[in-house]
Amino acid sequence: MAITGFTISTEGPGLYEFTGKVRAWTEGRGDGLLTLFIRHTSASLLIMENADPEVQTDLTAYFHRLVPPTTDPAMSYLTHTHEGPDDMPAHIKAGMMPVSLSIPVQGGRPLLGTWQGIFVAEHRAAPHRREIAAHFAG
Amino acid sequence: MAITGFTISTEGPGLYEFTGKVRAWTEGRGDGLLTLFIRHTSASLLIMENADPEVQTDLTAYFHRLVPPTTDPAMSYLTHTHEGPDDMPAHIKAGMMPVSLSIPVQGGRPLLGTWQGIFVAEHRAAPHRREIAAHFAG
Amino acid sequence: MAITGFTISTEGPGLYEFTGKVRAWTEGRGDGLLTLFIRHTSASLLIMENADPEVQTDLTAYFHRLVPPTTDPAMSYLTHTHEGPDDMPAHIKAGMMPVSLSIPVQGGRPLLGTWQGIFVAEHRAAPHRREIAAHFAG
């Protein structure tokens, strides 16, 4: 059993891949289970296609329309606005996307599909440093 | 390895925190992985900010608008209505929010971020008793 | 500890139950934790009610309206359209529903609630073979 942490710097809404860091950490560990947990309520973990970057920008654009900033008249019923117009929408998105991911590992390799990458989905506008706790059990 | 169950009573849509019960159960267990699983299809588990209660009411209000009761004309295409106008929307919300959560534990403490609480998100209107299965592996 | 794989054939958007296959695999394994991980970015895993099939068709209908094909004028801002009008919506749905599920197991039985079934939620229109990696730790 092993525990570590990853820190991912973000600069506004979008997906930030860190598959390489995860692969490097599980390498040589044999068979087991990898768990990732993001320690925030305004950013998420996401497994998404990492081949075509348009997928990532489209995904971010969709969620921005689904959950617009609280300055949008459609969101006027929300009350938690004092931390900025992007704050409450960030919490809502964090309620829709995963906070934890569990991935079986075989021969030290997470059993990701061919096109799957591991990302932080940042929901806030300002730069942040996001902490992910990682756990491996063999 | 240990397994237990938590029962959370709910009284209508909203978030019900049980972080304290979880912390009490992992205390003294050392390092490992905590997994929570809610045994229902009309309520969810959610990690959300527990500092400002407005976040919780805003989140509930948002999802009520995104997935309104089946009495709303916008939802007239739905057919599963015989268990009440809040039933099918509850299943839909349960498809959007987590049914299981996995959290690394270090020194008996779940590695939650500063503002993260563990909640049952209740989607039904009537009072319910919600069962959560909990698993710890050291 | 054991790892296996399940393959589920799908024929268009909807839910495909494989609870029986999972139960058969955990039977006789005693107490532990089951983890399922779907190796795709255009299909999801879902725990949903398996009693009334209307729940499954209503759920699929809801998400089809929430995230319509890119031929819908409301989706004209999306750019990743060259793999078909159902492709980018499939990725978006895959970002909203679980990619991994963790379920405590007692006496060889996953601690599912009475009405909970385990499904692949297919988001693409064409037939697919979906691979799920499964992990059990006792």
Asked if A63 and A8 touch (Cβ cutoff 8 Å), the reply is no
DSSP summary character for residue C118? E
Strand stretches in B12-115, DSSP E:
14-17, 32-38, 43-49, 100-106, 109-110
- For C118, the token pair is 């385990």
pLDDT of residue A53: 94
User: Quick check: A114 contacting B, CB < 8 Å?
Assistant: no
User: Tens digit of pLDDT per residue, chain C (138 long)?
Assistant: 999 999 999 999 999 999 999 999 999 999 999 999 999 999 999 999 999 999 999 999 999 999 999 999 999 999 999 999 999 999 999 999 999 999 999 999 999 999 999 999 999 999 999 999 999 999
Strands C116-122 and C43-49: antiparallel
B contact chains, 3+ CB pairs < 8 A: A, C
Give C55's contacts in chain B (Cβ within 8 Å).
41, 80, 88, 91
User: Based on the number of CB atoms within 10 Å of its own CB, is A69 exposed (0-12), middle (13-18) or buried (19 or more)?
Assistant: middle
pTM above 0.80, yes or no: yes
Give A48's contacts in chain C (Cβ within 8 Å).
41, 91, 94-95
* Structural domains of chain A, count: 1
C contact chains, 3+ CB pairs < 8 A: A, B
pLDDT of residue A46: 98
Q: Under 8 Å CB-to-CB from A73, ≥6 apart: which residues?
A: none
For A76-83, the CB contacts below 8 A with 24+ separation are: A77/B61, A77/B65, A78/B58, A78/B61, A78/B62, A79/B54, A79/B57, A79/B58, A80/B52, A80/B54, A80/B55, A80/B58
Total H helices, total E strands in chain A? 3, 8
Give A54's contacts in chain C (Cβ within 8 Å).
79-80
Which tens digit of pLDDT belongs to each residue from A51-84?
999 999 999 999 999 999 999 999 999 999 999 9
CA distance B51 to chain A (A): 11
Which tens digit of pLDDT belongs to each residue from A95-107?
999 999 999 999 9
User: Tens digit of pLDDT per residue, chain B (138 long)?
Assistant: 999 999 999 999 999 999 999 999 999 999 999 999 999 999 999 999 999 999 999 999 999 999 999 999 999 999 999 999 999 999 999 999 999 999 999 999 999 999 999 999 999 999 999 999 999 999
Cα B47 to Cα A99: distance, rounded to the nearest angstrom: 7
pLDDT of residue B49: 95
> C residues 70-89 near B, CB within 8 Å?
none
Q: Report the residue of chain B nearest C46, measured CA to CA.
A: B95
CATH code of the domain containing B17: 2.60.120.460
Q: Which domain holds residue C56?
A: 2-137
State how far Cα B106 lies from the chain centre. 23
